[in-house]
Structure formats: structure tokens, C-alpha cells
Amino acid sequence: MRYGERGVSLEVDLSTGNIEKVETPLEWTELFLGGLGINAKLMWDRVGPEVEPFSPDNILIFSSGLLVGTPAFGANRTIITSISPQTLYLGFSMSGGHWAAQLKLAGYDRIVVKGRAPHLVYLWINDDKVEIRDARHLKGKSTYETMELIREELRDPRVEILAIGLAGENRVYFASIETYRGSASRLGLGAIMGDKNLKAIAVKGSKPLNIYKPEPFVKECEKIRDYIIYRLNNPIKGVPPILAYIGSPQEMKIYDEQWHLENFAWGHARVRRKGVWTKEIEERFAQAQKSAIKKFVGCYNCPIGCAATLALPGMPSYILKCYSKLTYLMAAMVDDLEFGLRIAARAQHYGVDGFTAPQVMAFAVELYENGILTDQDMPGFPSDPQERFFWLLDRIVRREGIGDVLAKGVYWAAREIGRGAEKFDHNTTKKHEQMTIKLGMLNPIYFLMYATGEKGNITQIEGQIPQAPLPPEYKEEFVRDWPQVPTGKEERFKQFILEWGEGDKVFPFYPPPDLCCELVEWQEIMHYIDDCTGICAGLSSFPIKPPYHIHNLPLLISYATGIEMSEEDLWTAATRVRNLVRAINIRRGLRRDEEKPPEDHWKKRFPEYEQELLTTYYRYRGWNEEGIPTKETLEKLKLDFVAEDFIKRGILKE
């Protein structure tokens, strides 16, 4: 018997209509945990470097995490994996909500989809009953319309659904996969779903999930709950409000947007507007947000309720995700939250990434203003900045006119448009749009994370430590109560908090390269653990001082699954997954020359020192000068099969 997980994948071949239940070895769980880890193993085994994203041979995996469906708070994430049409590397994108838990309760850890259906279909999974159903009547329907129509068709409001909208159907490179409260947005996995003619996956489960050591497991959950309550009532001092709590308060609960509006760049990641957060704008934004919110909404088994159902006059209802309430308005240079909420409504119904889409549209506006795109390319392009964004969005998701090119994201669009458009592609790394920052001094920690991150998205790697030195008066208190630090690193990391910002201990040469590596590793590893367990980053890897950490996560995994796991074992497993993800990308061509943050992220750059940082990090990780995990590293991590493949392909020498 398996505990905490099912040990079963549902394998669906849409070309033939074949559906199978396939057992996964327990050894895989020990080695790769679950979620992203086993997804990566499957991707490595089945999708060679020659497979194109839009090919029936590309697989699309919808996975729950190892702890999803257990009583662990916030263990509810869906981890979706495929080859990204945009980066051509491994694309993995996560979503909160209720879907993954239902999948687990139906008796499956994940669904592996291959092939391409002859026409639009959706999957309906009700415990042991799995059907591929006609979805031609759902063609062109929005994400939320699709979910509502499927619930109606199945006559059951408890069915959970993942769906694509028009953007996914039309293979927009930044199409998302949406669920009611959650959205797997990054890296265009919605386009892969569209390419497979898969409109949605509906699931409902009623099979009880077994826990190996039930009483100790629930005792740990009680401690987690107590800590959540404590943290919600005791914000961390000396950091901006969005970093002071847990969950994702930036989504809907907090009205103070100073952090984002003043620190992140507006337009096409160009202008930083210090002082924009005035009393007047604060009142307007708070008013717009309050009047739009109908109800706060939570993910499965987490009462915090970070998101909210929004209803704006004349717009269909939707549940806003993450900081997309600001991304559109900042990209459009519109100081009006209502515009941000309105366009996000349409965008989520179309199913596009609220992070990339605004940047692509701002890029188009920039090209137009610089005469690279003209009225000939964009007949009828409005002059009002708000209308422009709606105009572009409508065309991108339908792939009409210029929208057909822009649908590929900034990197590919710039090259296709030519005429100097490449020069305006200034904010992508590995062909993917990055955080819109324009800061002064090089940040060596973030430099490494942008350069070497495999996820394409900084917010999916960062966490644990404050993003700037704490004010001196809060430092002592901060380090006094900091149980989250990994064993053996206590003194070092506490020292870092205390001395960072004092005297000459400032960027770019502080923290020194070796300490940067350790801090980056910690941040990364915690995220990789979450991506495997399915615990929400908002309770774990993203916040400072989270309720889940490296000391209690191994316990929870052991109690849930019966697999003995120490802190060190878990760290190693996450490192293994991190290396396997990298190996997939290395096999697809990733090398050192692509590992660089956008050039204008920081005004003051230090090319030589940056290369020293990168080399130090590669060595720290056990990678060679090109960023390729060495044979020794791979073997130590029990990734011998990767080493063998690398040698066979000549990627590594014997």
C-alpha cells in the first residue's frame, strides 16, 4: 500500500484515445519526491532534445504534489510540465486552487498526456471512470465559461476544472491554464494544451488518501496552524508590508502598493517612478480595489484566502491572481487600478500570463512610438493607452494581424518584426520576459538567481531572506527568532543579516561570492521542495520566516508517506531534482552564454566580477565552466542515467 501518494499515473494518449493507469515505482518517490521531481524524471525519459514543443511526441504532465490531499495546510498545488514553446526548454508552471487535491482523491498522482486529439476534447475523471469527451461546443469559450459549462454539463458544482481559453486554443506562447482560483501561467503551457486539442480537464475524487503516521502528522499540522496564526498577527518588522506576512497578501488584502509601483519599472520595463505613491493615488487605488472585491477566496485546505472574486461593471466575474492587478496598468502607464482590474478580467478569461502579456503589449507600443511598427502594421491602432492595451490583447489571443507575431512573446516577435526591433528586446533572459526592474547597483544574489534560474521567473526562486538590509534597529530581533535557517548555517546566515548594510558591507561586493552561493542555494532548494510536495510557496518558500521550513518538511513527508527522510535527505532530493531539471535544459542546448540577466536590470554592472560570481556558483553546484553538472555531481546524486546520456552525446567527456 502507498501512503500520502497514490503511486499511480494516469496515462492518456489523445491520438489513439488510449487510457491507462500506470504504477510508478516507490523508488521514484524516494529519489524525486513527487510533483516537479517525478515530472522531470518522466520528461527526461520520454522527451528527447529533438522533440519540438508543438509535436504529438511532446508530453504534458498535470501533477499534484507529494503532500497534496493530506491535511497539511496549503498542500494544494498543481505542477504542470512540458517543453515550453517560448524558451524551448523545460516549462514548468504551478497553480493553486482545488484541482490537484481532487486528482489525488480520484486516485492519481498525475496525468501524463501525449499525442493530439483529432478535434477539441476534454477529459473527465471521476474516480476510476475516465472519459475523453467531445469539447467542440466549447471552442472559443473563455476559461471561466468553459469551467461553468462543464460543471453544468456534468451537473456537479464539486467538479474541479483546468481549462484554456482562446489564447491556449490559438497557441499563444504565453497562454495560461486556468482554474477557478489558480492559474499556471508561465512559459506557455496553455499553448501546448491547445496544440493537443485538449480544452479542459475535469476531475472529482472520493477515494480516501492514506496517511502513514496519522497522529504525529496532524500534530505537526497543528503546529503549522499555530505558526500561521502567530505570523498573521505578528508581522515582521523592518520590511515592506507585502513581505511582512505569509500567503500572498499582495494579491488582494493589502492596498499599499508602494513597493511594486515605486520599485518596479513602468512601460516596457523602462521607467522607475519614485514618488508615484501619493496619498491621492493610495485612496483611489484602495477605493477601486474595495469596490471590486466581492469575496475573498482560498485554495484547497488553506483558510488564509489570498485571492478574491472580483466583479466590475460590464466585465465578467473572475478571481484575480497574483500581482497581475498591477502588471497591466504599469506596462500601459495608466495610474488607475480600475483599468488594471478590468483588463486583467479580460486577460484571464482569454487565459494569458499576466506577467508576460503586459510586457509584450508595452513592447508593441514602444515599437509603434519609435516608428518600427506603423499604422500599416496596426491599422486602427487607438491613441488612448488603455484602449491600446485592449486592442492589442484582443488581437494577440486571436492571432490577428500584428497579434499573430506578438503572440510569440517579445524575443521571437522582435526577430520576426526585424527593422531594429531586436534592440527593444531588452528584458528577456532565455527568451522569456523577466521582472520589470531598473535598479542602480548590481545585486549579486539576484544576479545569480536571474542568470541560473531554470523557471524563467524570479518570484518562483526568491524567498527566505529580506530583499534589502534590515534597518539596524530590527536586526537583533530578526535573528533572535529565526528557526527556519538550515542546520549548520545558523551562525553564517545570522551574521549576514547583522552585518549586511553596515559600512562597506554593501552591494555589489557584499555578500562575497561564496556566501551569495549559499544564500541562492537555500532560496532555490526551498522552492524545489515546494514544487515537489505541492505546498504553496506563500506558506513556505516565498515569505521570510514561513511556517513550513527545512526542519518540519522532512517530518511531514516521513509521517505522510512512511519514507524515512532526514533534513539532509530532503535537501539532497531537492538538489537532485534541481539538477535533473537543469540536465533536461542542458540536453536541449542551454549553456553559460545564455545565463545572464537583462542588461539594464542594474545601471552599475561589473562584467568581470559577474563572471567570477557565475563561475563560483557553478563550482559550488558541482557544474563545469559551461554550467553542466559534472559526472561526479550526477553520480553522487544518483543521476547516473543523466551522466551516461551526457557522455554518449558528447556533452560531457568520459
Between helix 553-561 and helix 214-233 the angle, nearest 10°, is 150
- Select the residue interacting with other proteins from 38, 105, 121, 239 (CB under 8 A): 105
- Confirm if 207 and 109 have CB atoms less than 8 A apart: no
Selected from 206, 234, 487, 495, the binder of other proteins by CB under 8 A is 206
CA nearest to 623, candidates 648, 643, 596, 597: 643
Binding mask 303-342 vs other proteins (x if CB under 8 A, - otherwise)?
A: xxx--xx-x-----xxx-----------------------
Out of 45, 156, 491, 625, point to the residue binding other proteins (CB under 8 A). Answer: 156
Residue with Cβ nearer other proteins (200 or 442): 200
Indicate whether 148 belongs to the interface with other proteins (CB under 8 A): yes
Cell of 20: 491507462
Cβ closest to other proteins, residue 150 vs residue 360: 150
3 state SS of 194: helix
Q: Find the shortest distance in angstroms from Cβ 150 to other proteins.
A: 12
Closest approach, Cβ 297 to other proteins, in A, equals 5
Task: Identify residues 45-84 at the interface with other proteins (CB under 8 A).
Answer: 69-71, 73
Is 138 within 8 Å of 119 (Cβ atoms)?
no
Q: How far is the CB of 379 from other proteins (least distance, A)?
A: 36
Shortest separation between residue 71's beta carbon and other proteins, angstroms: 5
The two beta strands, 602-604 and 439-441, are parallel
Cβ nearer to other proteins, comparing 217 with 411: 217
552 touches other proteins (CB under 8 A) = no
Query: Does 124 contact other proteins by CB under 8 A?
Result: no
> In 71-142, where does DSSP find H-type helix?
99-106
Instruction: Give min distance, CB of 8 to other proteins, in A.
Output: 16
CA neighbor of 479 nearest in space, from 469, 490, 488, 468: 490
Task: Give least dist CB 339 to other proteins, A.
Answer: 22
CA distance to 185, 188, 415, per residue, from 618 (Å): 29, 28, 31
CB nearer to other proteins: pick between 348 and 575: 348
Q: Figure out which of the listed residues 41, 77, 171, 181 binds other proteins, where binding follows CB under 8 A.
A: 181
Check binding of 175 to other proteins (CB under 8 A). Answer: no
Q: What letter would DSSP give residue 357?
A: H
Smallest distance, other proteins to C-beta of residue 311, A: 8
Q: Determine the 3-state secondary structure of 339 from DSSP.
A: helix
Nearer to other proteins, 91 or 182 (CB): 182
Stretch near other proteins under the rule CB under 8 A, chosen from 10-18, 148-156, 369-377, 513-521: 148-156
Which of positions 286-305 make contact with other proteins (CB under 8 A)?
294-305
CB of 251 to other proteins, least distance (A): 12
Q: Does 208 bind other proteins (CB under 8 A)?
A: yes
| 98 binds other proteins per the rule CB under 8 A | yes
Beta bridge partners of 598: none
Round to whole Å and give the CA distance between 537 and 343. 26
Stretch that binds other proteins, among 223-231, 265-273, 360-368, 626-634 (CB under 8 A): 223-231
- Whether the CB-CB separation of 351 and 175 falls below 8 Å is answered with yes
Cα(77)–Cα(107) distance, rounded to whole angstroms? 16
C-beta of 346 vs 455, nearer to other proteins: 346
Could you say which of 228, 269, 406, 451 contacts other proteins (CB under 8 A)? Answer: 228
Residue found under cell 531594429: 420
Cβ-based neighbours of 22, under 8 Å, separated by 6 or more: 8, 9, 10, 11
Using the structure block, give the residue that is written with the C-alpha cell 542594474: 602
Which of positions 235-294 make contact with other proteins (CB under 8 A)?
A: 294
Stretch that binds other proteins, among 152-160, 371-379, 424-432, 518-526 (CB under 8 A): 152-160
- Give the binding range for other proteins (CB under 8 A) out of 50-58, 154-162, 422-430, 626-634: 154-162
Q: What's the half-sphere exposure (Cβ side, CA atoms, 13 Å) at 649?
A: 16
CB–CB of 58/70 below 8 Å?
Answer: no
Q: What is the CA radius of gyration of the chain?
A: 23
Instruction: Report the C-alpha gap between 221 and 484 in whole angstroms.
Output: 16
Q: Of the two residues 316 and 622, which places its CB atom closer to other proteins in the complex?
A: 316
Total residues contacting other proteins by CB under 8 A comes to: 48
Residue type, 553: L
Q: Among residues 154, 250, 200, 460, which one has the least CA distance to residue 351?
A: 200
Q: CB-wise, 107 or 598, nearer to other proteins? A: 107
Under 8 Å between Cβ of 210 and 4: yes
**What is the nearest approach in angstroms of other proteins to the Cβ of residue 386?**
25
Please say which residue, 228 or 269, places its beta carbon nearer to other proteins.
Answer: 228
Among 55, 210, 615, 624, binds other proteins (CB under 8 A): 210
Q: Cβ atoms within 10 A of the Cβ of 299, count?
A: 29
Q: Record the cell numbers describing residue 586, joined without a space.
A: 542542458
Nearer Cβ to other proteins (92/559):
559
| Contact mark string toward other proteins, 12..41, x via CB under 8 A | ------------------------------
**CA distance linking residue 138 with residue 351, whole number of Å:** 14
Minimum distance of other proteins from residue 188's CB (angstroms)? 25
Could you tell me where the beta strands, DSSP code E, fall in 33-120?
A: 60-64, 78-83, 90-95, 110-114
Q: Tell me the closest approach of the beta carbon of residue 12 to other proteins, in angstroms.
A: 24
Least distance from other proteins to the Cβ atom of residue 93, Å:
21
By beta-carbon proximity to other proteins, the closer residue of 180 and 617 is 180
- State which of positions 615-654 bind other proteins (CB under 8 A): none
Q: Decide whether 180 or 478 has the Cβ nearer to other proteins.
A: 180
CA dihedral 465, 468, 472, 476 (to 10 degrees): 0
137 in contact with other proteins (CB under 8 A): no
Nearer to other proteins, 180 or 510 (CB): 180
Residue 137 burial (CB < 10 Å; 0-12/13-18/19+)? exposed
d(CA 560, CA 70) in angstroms, rounded, equals: 8
Instruction: Give a three-class secondary structure readout of 420-486.
Output: CHHHHCCCEECCEECCCECEEECCHHHHHHHHHCCCCCHHHCCCECCCCCCCHHHHHHHHHCCCCCC
Q: Binding residues for other proteins, per CB under 8 A?
A: 69-71, 73, 98, 105, 144, 148, 152, 155-158, 180-181, 205-211, 214-215, 217-218, 222, 225, 228-229, 294-305, 308-309, 311, 317-319
